[in-house]
Structure 1
């Protein structure tokens, strides 16, 4: 399809509209990393790396010379299968499988402690996530979409709290590596364009996270709303964390990988979802190109929101004055949760 046609349609069908999202699925195809991009000598952590975008982004980076990749997975057995898949085409890479359960703060902290002992950590892609279409709670007691971001049910804490906690734990090894190499490390969060599509009714509550843990806050007539809200929390967290970080040491961004045919949709009973994926979805490998693009490019774009492999604006709410205030509130609430529920962590990061 001619580039001019893609450019016209991508601009006419605005970011954040469902029609625009569908059109761009057809007109904007992610491109793989060019041959001149190399990750020689570098170490990367990728969560949710046993399947889908996590696995494919790991494979692509390894194909471009990555020396070591750590696959953060909930199921070690499936992680080992993914490891063998990578080694089959790239036998010289050091591929490690580390267990991490986003529904358990103890598991996340153990993973972070292990990462702190690495001799270097150049790249972290936090991709693990879930899409739960009914109210359910994680092991920590938080609503699953909020708790994780893994492809398994858990509280709002999964899509937000789990990722937020791990991001804090990885700051030290990422910063240390940047200081030793003289180049910024990369921290990329996988989010979604659906963050545009939530009314975010909880934003005016006395406590956003506490309200989202209450069952009557879950919109059963529009179950996708909670997932969309959890992705909005991810964008807000990325921007606030980026404000507190030195971009010369850790460059952070969040990326919308588009609609991809992955296991994320396995719990989605939406009528016609199968046909929609068949007609519009990118393959996991194509979606993974957006993740590898995020860690290879966009220097100087701290806290950027990326879609179709370019920097673009997140939702109008995110960039509004109200959004910035809610962003700060979410930060404070999240840190408060960690201080209460992961008390041994407070001396390290909070």
Structure 2
């Protein structure tokens, strides 16, 4: 895993497959962030098609969320679909979301898919943090903590593990992560001079997803909540909307999977592989994450990222 030629080979030769037709989610509740379009929407559509009883679409744009709801109900009318507001740039929005989540009677599946890929430096107007880090890592981490208590309570009630899956990327293999040696990693990543070129910062934020999920998994029993990360593959989606060079379109034409196929990767990681925990999935199978993640340096960075993120959220 991780090499460019290997990436190209897998994109060309592997074709993601849907959940087995026998998979039934009847009576269960799923929550998906970033579910109004692209892979998140396709994953939501697939789960609803498997007799899911309740589906919560957590989205930044409510009107797009309502359009997604309408399209899902067109093929799965028996699923109770709800649209909730959630803005990863706003701590107030995340706090309000957390209050709504806490009132739920159950969550069986939580898929944290919301993300952004900014290729030029910009800071969040709400928090001041670099935008990729704010949305993909800080916001996602806060949401994972918000849904965790309900996932645990559900597992105890139904006497079966629930699932929390965070969407990462194979790009986490491809970064030097020079910021790891900084006294405060997240603060250092707010400095424009550390942003790097092209997709480096986006990939670093996806590395943070893997580190966060692994540390969170180490603190939660897999008998309660199975926590993993997933690489959805290189797919056609709105994630690439900030790419202006046209190169991405060429690569998508040559190698890209459809949003439906990417959605299959998400639902596979979320619903299948019951014996996993703290693992990384790619091409619908469990594979090792990057050598850095598994190294002593990676484990130190993992604990440091956890401590910094918890301290930041406590503020």
> TM-score, structure 2 length as denominator?
0.98
Aligned to 2:181: 204
* Deviation sequence 1:167-202 (CA, Å, 0-9, x none): 001111100100000110100000000000111010
Once the two structures are TM-superposed, the CA of residue 49 in structure 1 deviates from its matched residue by 0.3
Once the two structures are TM-superposed, the CA of residue 23 in structure 1 deviates from its matched residue by 1.1
Structure 2 stretches lacking a partner, 5+ long: none
Aligned to 2:203: 228
Aligned to 1:52: 38
**1:26 matches 2:1:** no
Structure 1 stretches lacking a partner, 5+ long: 1-14, 149-158, 341-350
Once the two structures are TM-superposed, the CA of residue 300 in structure 1 deviates from its matched residue by 2.1
**1:123 matches 2:109:** yes
Once the two structures are TM-superposed, the CA of residue 223 in structure 1 deviates from its matched residue by 2.5
**1:110 matches 2:87:** no
**1:290 matches 2:276:** no
User: For 1:300 and 1:270, how far apart are their aligned partners in 2?
Assistant: 42
Give matches, 1:152-231, under 5 Å: 159-219=136-196, 222-231=197-206
User: For 2:244 and 2:5, how far apart are their aligned partners in 1?
Assistant: 21
Aligned to 2:251: 276
User: For 1:252 and 1:270, how far apart are their aligned partners in 2?
Assistant: 36
Among 57, 67, 83, the alignment partner of 1:97 is: 83
Aligned to 1:329: 304
* Deviation sequence 1:133-176 (CA, Å, 0-9, x none): 1111111110000000xxxxxxxxxx100000000011111001
Aligned to 1:153: none
User: For 2:299 and 2:312, how far apart are their aligned partners in 1?
Assistant: 20
Aligned to 2:212: 237
Aligned to 2:63: 77
Once the two structures are TM-superposed, the CA of residue 112 in structure 1 deviates from its matched residue by 1.3
Once the two structures are TM-superposed, the CA of residue 270 in structure 1 deviates from its matched residue by 4.1
> TM-score, structure 1 length as denominator?
0.89
* Deviation sequence 1:85-130 (CA, Å, 0-9, x none): 0000111110000000000011011111101111111000000000
**1:320 matches 2:306:** no
User: For 2:207 and 2:270, how far apart are their aligned partners in 1?
Assistant: 21
* Deviation sequence 1:53-89 (CA, Å, 0-9, x none): 1100011011011001000100000000000000001
Give me the CA root mean square deviation: 0.8
Counterpart secondary structure, 1:245: coil
Aligned to 1:144: 131
Once the two structures are TM-superposed, the CA of residue 269 in structure 1 deviates from its matched residue by 2.7
User: For 2:283 and 2:263, how far apart are their aligned partners in 1?
Assistant: 11
User: For 1:190 and 1:270, how far apart are their aligned partners in 2?
Assistant: 25
Which structure is richer in relative contact order (CA contacts within 8 A, separation 6 or more)?
2
